[in-house]
Structure 1
Amino acid sequence: MSQIKSRAAILILLILFCFCQNPKGESEVTEATEPFANSFEMEASSAPKAITRMILEDRKGNIWLSTFDGVFMYEGKEFFKVPSSISKARFFSVLEDRKGNIWFGTIGEGVFKFDGNGFENITNRDGLASNEITSIYEDGNGHIWFGGNGGFSIFDGQSFKNFILEKDQIVEDPNLKPKIIPNPTDFNNRSINEVNSIIEDRNGLFWIATRGSTYTYDRVEFKKVEHEDGPFSNVRWIMEDQSGDVWLVGQSGVWRYSKDSFTRIVENFTGYIFQSREGHIYISTNLGNDEGWGLLKIDQSRLNDSVPEVDIISSGLGMAFGIEEAEDGLIWFGTLQGIRQYNPSQKTQ
């Protein structure tokens, strides 16, 4: 991929970088980290063709793609790629915090924070519990949670509080030894203690999903989450919808927690769930037949039903991952071969 040479392209990049700046001029410099790169030049690129795990639209309308071939950005007309000189890791998770910083989790190199000018790399040398970061979340206090292989870290801007998953329990360990992954690129040997998803619901209760069990946390104690047939296992993503219901998706399908009870909506293995601005629910799931994985939709008008009807809007995907709604209404979702789009108004993809 060639570097951007023209004055027009350079001007576009400068504008984009200015848009990513904190408008109040605030910075989040920590004692534990140092800038990885103070300046760099994005590379013009085609759309990613590698596994795309997570998609984020930032507050300025730029689309960021966390892929196994690096970090890509789409600014409305063209794709750009963060150069491999920043990192050659496989990128997995992404979050924009309330200050406008964008955090990227990797497999093997910890996290990178992009402040609009450059990147800071944070690893277990700085106190992070794991260098494999599969989920990132910002809580109501502005603390960043990093879920990884073996546990998770809570970062208050200055220091980390670490928790380890041990014998199907979560315990705080201030002297947590760094988690060493023999082969971080071997996805056939994943730990059951990998943290897949973290959210804080509107009541201040945290939900933490791992490849093993799922837990709630009230800042005092952790409790295992169970439904009528037993505990939830290998939940891949958790979401709170616009009405306050909590959705858990994973190995046992799609479950909705509403009015203190769980209801199963979809039975097949599910990877991700997302709610659009209009209130529609989108789900990436294994259809359980020759069509492979598909993108499902629950119309907002059906959400009051005890078991809402689900529509298949795309199939034959091989596998589908993170979902995001762009400002123009297009639904983006990641696949094994990059990204695809669904247009709700035209019913095309």
Structure 2
Amino acid sequence: MKYLHLYTLFFMSVFHTAWGQNRTDISKKNANPLTIKSETKVPLTSNVWDIKQDRNGNIWFATSGGVFRYDGKSFTKITAELISKPFFSVLEDSKGNFWFGTYGSGAYYYNGTAFQHFTTKEGLANNSVMPIYEDKAGIIWMGTGGGVSRYDGKSFRNFTDADGLTNNDVHAIVQDKTGKMWFGTRGDISIYDGKKITTLSDKNSKTFRNVWSMLKDKKGNIWFGADGLWRYDGRAFTQIDQTGAGVIIQDKKGDVLTSIGGPILRYDERSLSDKKPHVTVIKTKYEGRRNLPFGLLWANDGCIWIGSDRYSYDGKTLRDFKSIERKK
């Protein structure tokens, strides 16, 4: 668990300050105008924080050097002339548009042609945006260093510790099968039912602190990494592993992948309901070295993209991003 503690200290220093919170809706009538896109084909050599695959099969990377897209042949820097701040997150929404979260520069909306910029001036709770999540109704939720921002396409509504969050540093967001919103924070997990925010606890009043990742699996169970890896089926909490998780994903088949840096743990879909699911270890490129456990994708073709070391794994061979581009 010492590595989880080290990652926590790192992000407390990076994702820390909670600027002016706001509990009321704020109109976007003064939102920054669209900025025409600028793309440049350059190698991806930056630290990778988030990886997602879009509906067309392109792979997107939020990195310390900007947002990149891989089309199967080459990497293109999408944010070439926007800012030099690190990008933490990428989301393709239900309409096919993209949202990017940054450290210190707010969030960007990208419609494939141009960008729109959102900061605290437009209503964000904080200019450091980590998770971005779309709920069933198409509402965009952003976890920031100053609370949660809810954007309905017209205005923002912000939630902070004054509304019940246990901490304003929000690291993960997910919507459960009942429609409630879960917020993983540097404090405990907070749950919003549409009216009020409460703190998640088990039947013994145990809470779950410092959650960096959450996942709703295909059966509606919620997985999260806190003081161990946990699964909640709507009735009971099961501790799957003593080790936490900086990232949790699921593939089309239903297998779950987790990592806290170093090896990746793969939980077989057929045993996910067991108290101890069957797990296999996927060894990372550098044995004995712990990397930041962020940026993990199970692509449609079965390859696993691992941002910490910038390589992909097809089940047999590890290839770094540079060799992938050269091969194509």
Tell me the distance in 1 between the aligned counterparts of 2:83 and 2:35: 10
Partner of 1:240: 216
Partner of 1:332: 305
Tell me the distance in 2 between the aligned counterparts of 1:201 and 1:275: 16
Partner of 2:76: 80
Q: How far is 1:297 from its partner?
A: 0.3
Does the 8 A contact of 1:35 with 1:118 survive in 2?
Answer: no
Does the 8 A contact of 1:143 with 1:156 survive in 2?
Answer: yes
Partner of 2:194: 219
Q: How far is 1:204 from its partner?
A: 0.8
Tell me the distance in 1 between the aligned counterparts of 2:275 and 2:79: 48
- Give secondary structure in 1 for the equivalent of 2:55: coil
Q: For the structure 1 residues 324 and 86, does the alpha-carbon distance in structure 2 shift closer, same or farther, using more than 3 Å as the test?
A: same
Q: How far is 1:230 from its partner?
A: 1.9
Specify the code of the residue in structure 1 equivalent to 2:144: G
Tell me the distance in 1 between the aligned counterparts of 2:212 and 2:260: 11
Q: How far is 1:92 from its partner?
A: 0.2
Specify the code of the residue in structure 1 equivalent to 2:41: A
Partner of 1:154: 150
Which blocks of at least 5 consecutive residues in structure 2 are unaligned? 1-27, 320-328
- Give secondary structure in 1 for the equivalent of 2:312: strand
Q: Identify the match of residue 120 of structure 2 among 100, 110, 124.
A: 124
Tell me the distance in 2 between the aligned counterparts of 1:328 and 1:156: 34
Mapping for residues 90-101 of structure 1, pairs under 5 Å: 90-101=86-97
Does the 8 A contact of 1:32 with 1:159 survive in 2?
Answer: no
Does the 8 A contact of 1:294 with 1:320 survive in 2?
Answer: no
Partner of 1:182: none
Does the 8 A contact of 1:320 with 1:333 survive in 2?
Answer: no
Does the 8 A contact of 2:37 with 2:78 survive in 1?
Answer: no
Largest Rg, 1 or 2: 1
- Which of 303-312 and 134-143 deviates more? 303-312
Q: Identify the match of residue 312 of structure 1 among 276, 281, 291.
A: 281
Q: Identify the match of residue 41 of structure 2 among 40, 44, 51.
A: 44
Q: Identify the match of residue 100 of structure 2 among 99, 104, 112.
A: 104
Does the 8 A contact of 1:197 with 1:209 survive in 2?
Answer: yes
TM-score, scaled to structure 1: 0.77
Tell me the distance in 2 between the aligned counterparts of 1:304 and 1:159: 40
Q: Identify the match of residue 229 of structure 2 among 233, 254, 258.
A: 254
- Which of 67-76 and 228-237 deviates more? 228-237
Partner of 1:5: none
Q: How far is 1:199 from its partner?
A: 1.1
Tell me the distance in 1 between the aligned counterparts of 2:314 and 2:175: 30
Does the 8 A contact of 1:89 with 1:107 survive in 2?
Answer: yes
Q: For the structure 1 residues 39 and 105, does the alpha-carbon distance in structure 2 shift closer, same or farther, using more than 3 Å as the test?
A: closer
Give a deviation string over 1:179-236, Cα, whole Å, max 9, x none: xxxxxxxxxxxxx531011111121111111011101111112121123472100011
Q: For the structure 1 residues 83 and 155, does the alpha-carbon distance in structure 2 shift closer, same or farther, using more than 3 Å as the test?
A: closer
1:164 partnered with 2:160: yes
Q: How far is 1:319 from its partner?
A: 2.7
Tell me the distance in 1 between the aligned counterparts of 2:130 and 2:318: 31
Which blocks of at least 5 consecutive residues in structure 1 are unaligned? 1-29, 172-191, 287-292
TM-score, scaled to structure 2: 0.82
Give a deviation string over 1:100-154, Cα, whole Å, max 9, x none: 1100000010001110101111101111111000111111111111110120111
- Give secondary structure in 2 for the equivalent of 1:239: strand
Specify the code of the residue in structure 1 equivalent to 2:264: L
Give the structure with the larger strand fraction. 1
Partner of 1:263: 238
Larger relative CO (CA 8 A, sep 6+): 1 or 2? Answer: 2
Tell me the distance in 2 between the aligned counterparts of 1:308 and 1:229: 25
Partner of 2:13: none
- Give secondary structure in 2 for the equivalent of 1:255: strand
Does the 8 A contact of 2:174 with 2:214 survive in 1?
Answer: yes
Does the 8 A contact of 2:40 with 2:80 survive in 1?
Answer: no
Does the 8 A contact of 2:41 with 2:76 survive in 1?
Answer: yes
Does the 8 A contact of 1:332 with 1:341 survive in 2?
Answer: yes
1:277 partnered with 2:252: yes
- Which of 252-261 and 301-310 deviates more? 301-310
Does the 8 A contact of 1:66 with 1:104 survive in 2?
Answer: yes
Partner of 1:188: none
Q: Identify the match of residue 341 of structure 1 among 312, 322, 326.
A: 312
Does the 8 A contact of 1:324 with 1:331 survive in 2?
Answer: yes
- The count of corresponding residues between Structure 1 and Structure 2 is 287
Instruction: Indicate the percent of aligned positions where both proteins have the same amino acid.
Output: 36
Q: How far is 1:259 from its partner?
A: 4.8
Tell me the distance in 2 between the aligned counterparts of 1:304 and 1:139: 25
Aligned Cα root-mean-square deviation (Å): 2.0
Mapping for residues 49-68 of structure 1, pairs under 5 Å: 49-68=45-64
